[in-house]
Amino acid sequence: MRPVLLAFACVLVVGCGGSKRSNVGTVTGKLTYKGQPVNNASLILDPVGDAKASPLTIVVGTDGTFNTNDVAPGEYKIVVRGTAGPPIPKTGMSPEMKAKFEAVQGGNKPTIPFPPKYTQAQTSDLTCKIEPGTQSLDLVLKD
């Protein structure tokens, strides 16, 4: 499982370069914790050993899936960042309006809780190695 995580992280970081490159990677995958998709999060891929390279941010959808193109080959450290979701007004809203608001904002629900060790580069054990071509990377967070 670790090689898959390493491959995924690498693809994500390289994709932030912005310039067209040959031999780039495309990465698709899913982020889960205890069998549940880690929804509405971001993956931050930080290039290992390249102080000049910028980290790459990849958006994770409501179903825990992600997809990115144009990622430079290399090794990356992966950090996961969650979202708190939109604020829901506490007063002045009928139960019907509150239900409609929550339905419309359903895609912006807070990220499910996951171990805090993944939120910092110093403590995250997620890494990957990205290679040219298309790769599938399923990331499983563990306690």
pLDDT tens-digit profile of 16-68? 444 444 588 899 999 999 999 999 899 999 999 887 888 999 999 999 999 99
Top pLDDT among 49 and 141 is at 141
Asked if the structure places residue 29 within a domain, the reply is yes
pLDDT single digits (tens) 63-106 = 999 999 888 889 999 999 998 765 555 566 667 766 655 554 55
Give the span between the Cα atoms of 7 and 76, in whole angstroms.
Answer: 8
**Would you call 13 exposed, middle or buried from its count of C-beta atoms within 10 A (0-12, 13-18, 19+)?**
buried
- Widest Cα–Cα separation across the chain: 56
Question: Residue 20 in contact with residue 128, Cβ under 8 Å?
Answer: no
Asked if the structure places residue 93 within a domain, the reply is no
Q: How is residue 127 written in tokens? A: 């890494």
Number of domains in the chain: 1
Asked if the structure places residue 66 within a domain, the reply is yes
CATH number at residue 26: 2.60.40.10
Residue 66's pLDDT is 95
Judge whether residue 10 has pLDDT over 60: no
Asked if the structure places residue 98 within a domain, the reply is no
Residue 23's pLDDT is 82
Judge whether residue 115 has pLDDT over 90: yes
Give the span between the Cα atoms of 38 and 19, in whole angstroms.
Answer: 30
Asked if the structure places residue 27 within a domain, the reply is yes
Asked if the structure places residue 68 within a domain, the reply is yes
Asked if the structure places residue 105 within a domain, the reply is no
Residue 88's pLDDT is 55
Domain holding 40, by residue range, is 2-83+115-141
Angle at 117 between CA 9 and CA 28, to 5 degrees: 25
Give the span between the Cα atoms of 23 and 17, in whole angstroms.
Answer: 13
Half-sphere exposure of 34 (CA within 13 A, CB side): 5
Asked if the structure places residue 97 within a domain, the reply is no
**Size of the chain in residues:** 143
